[in-house]
Structure 1
């Protein structure tokens, strides 16, 4: 709430939009101190939806001021900026993109994100609304990127070609290799992968690659080793990879040519248990060819 006093338009624009049809409406909750008919103090939890919360914020800041060089400067809620912020909300809600523009949305999920805020407690209620400025807030969290709830982030209002939620925080999402893989797929950049689905498919990231070739008198020996990282969501119904033991699989094949040439190949795949959403896969292959 103190940030509102900076009179920064973007702060006002971040206030919950009262015209948005929320699945889970963000609330301002205050434990208020009340007196009953006998003068006894009681605590009552009051909840305010976005439109009513603005009125409470206005009351809380009504007497607020700062002291600078001996001067007392009042800093109440700036209603002019609040009006501009509402106009910005209205513009964003009605803006549409041309049909020639393809819109994609990638947003962060799997991080606790503040949604509803509560001041005071049943045992320590707020007796004066102006005391909100100095009260310690407690939050109720929803899924999001730690800053923006997923419900808000994916409500862009555009006719999106695709929307994808990625397990990343608000700033870290721009550095996510998972996001890079999705963008690469959508832009058709690099080697195409017709089987990749960014919405529900695994993401396989090569992290190491080694190849060795040896030429001998009557043949060639080629050895390949790759390390992969697999990022995969969990549906909560099947056993998670972290619950599975390490798995090892081996495949061998040989082929003899018409002129006595012999080719042999052997591959080994080691799948390690998942750790923190990442799964390590090690692939090793050896190929040998003999002249007749």
Structure 2
């Protein structure tokens, strides 16, 4: 019954996705194709048994935790670099419906209760369609098994096939890649290992919120004590933190997100533990010990030394995997040697203005840790830096590549791919819509021509209407009516085609107030 309901919901998910689409907007055949590449957890995964029966295992509603443990739990094979499902009769695939977009559009199967906790590229896809992109012609998606390494050969082979397909479908046009989060590491690995092919098929790469130097606090705490993709009551319908923890311990992709030990951090990320100290007389005290990224490995090894799971009646040890660590260190070398081909443009967008875990600390002075194995069931405290809530801005901005532009956007890690500011930047870089020569993506606002530019170009008189916005009364203070005098004068010297513009504002009270100016209208009357 549970399986049947899950299938019904899966069918409804796809059906409603198609049904709810508005009438297709005008398609712009001149646009270059775009490929969307999600990050960790950003692709629908389907389990296929020996009989060819398919069952969605990530993300699903009914029996989610049970199917997750049964079908997705895995062990790393150091001889191949692959993490292999414990269920030998199951193969994990990524659905390629709707030209790969279905797998990274809206991951949420909970249509009945209206949940939208795990939507992914949905808003971006809808926005790009409005700009004139067409699914299967100029808009594609690339989902992948995010348990695997970012340099896993099967994933990179599929990525190559996708680039070739898009190139052919678009009539030989090069591809603009838009990656999010860990998808940026996958793209960078491919670029490093297949530079010639990358140059042949790729026009530009836009990385959004990529953890180029790792996500220190997020990754260390996930490997030690697990993580949750959703919080609160929603966890009852999703994957338990413990189940997710056991998966991540055997995921090469997670180890590749650890803090890069060779990067020159402005503030080195630390793993800190308040340890219980017992002297010869039995007196107990506490001591705070701090470990740099390379030093923290021994702590993780000790903490996970007794970790194990029960699978199909068999006890399987799951310690910190040193084979995966060795593999991920090689991945780091590949990432550090990547170079952008001369004909490809690279852009970087990353999030700021969010407290982002950097240092993690277990225990406290009053409640020290007596056994490192206690860390598995402990909640850490964080020392945060600026970033998107998951990836520090310092890591995301340190791409090590010659970028056309790096732009910081006030947004969180997941929200940044639905952010309207980011949409405007992407639209500009992708050449969608009418070109606006006055748009400056570095500041993300429209720079209207100055009055002098109008006078110089048109040889006429200019009248401008401005809206003035006040923040008075915000921040808990009492709102205050704002009144002021505003004068705007323009004068031009016709023979020199120059103009002067003067804005004078006189507040009618003595308190300071923050005022913003927004030009509403510019009118030009030309001379005969």
Matched, 1:99 2:342: yes
Residue 64 of structure 1 deviates from its aligned partner by: 1.3
Partner of 1:81: 324
Residues 181, 203 of structure 1: 8 Å contact kept: no
Q: Normalising by the residue count of structure 1, what TM-score does the alignment of the two structures yield?
A: 0.69
Match among 17, 21, 24 for residue 264 of structure 2: 21
How far apart in 2 are the matches of 1:107 and 1:202?
Answer: 14
Relative to structure 1, the CA distance from residue 135 to residue 191 in structure 2 (aligned partners, 3 Å threshold; closer, same or farther) is same
Partner of 1:177: 420
Q: Secondary structure at the match of 1:146?
A: coil
Matched, 1:55 2:298: yes
Q: How does 1:1-292 map to 2 (within 5 A)?
A: 1-3=224-226, 5-6=246-247, 7-199=250-442, 201=443, 203=445, 242-243=471-472, 245=482, 283=520
How far apart in 1 are the matches of 2:333 and 2:379?
Answer: 32
Relative to structure 1, the CA distance from residue 248 to residue 170 in structure 2 (aligned partners, 3 Å threshold; closer, same or farther) is farther
Query: How many residues align structurally?
Result: 237
How far apart in 2 are the matches of 1:242 and 1:93?
Answer: 45
Could you tell me which runs of 5 or more consecutive residues in structure 2 were left unpaired when the two chains were aligned.
1-223, 227-244, 448-464, 474-481, 489-515, 524-528
Partner of 2:193: none
Residue 20 of structure 1 deviates from its aligned partner by: 1.4
How far apart in 1 are the matches of 2:431 and 2:342?
Answer: 20
Partner of 1:272: none
Residues 31, 43 of structure 1: 8 Å contact kept: yes
Structure 1, residues 119-176: CA drift from partner, whole Å, max 9, x if none? 0000000001111111221111111111111111011110011100001111211121
Cα RMSD for the two superposed structures: 3.7
Q: Normalising by the residue count of structure 2, what TM-score does the alignment of the two structures yield?
A: 0.40
How far apart in 1 are the matches of 2:362 and 2:483?
Answer: 49
Residues 33, 41 of structure 1: 8 Å contact kept: yes
Higher-helix-fraction structure:
2
Greater Cα radius of gyration, structure 1 or 2: 1
Residues 107, 150 of structure 1: 8 Å contact kept: yes
Residues 5, 77 of structure 1: 8 Å contact kept: no
Q: Secondary structure at the match of 1:142?
A: strand
Partner of 2:477: none
Could you tell me which runs of 5 or more consecutive residues in structure 1 were left unpaired when the two chains were aligned.
206-225, 231-240, 252-278, 287-292
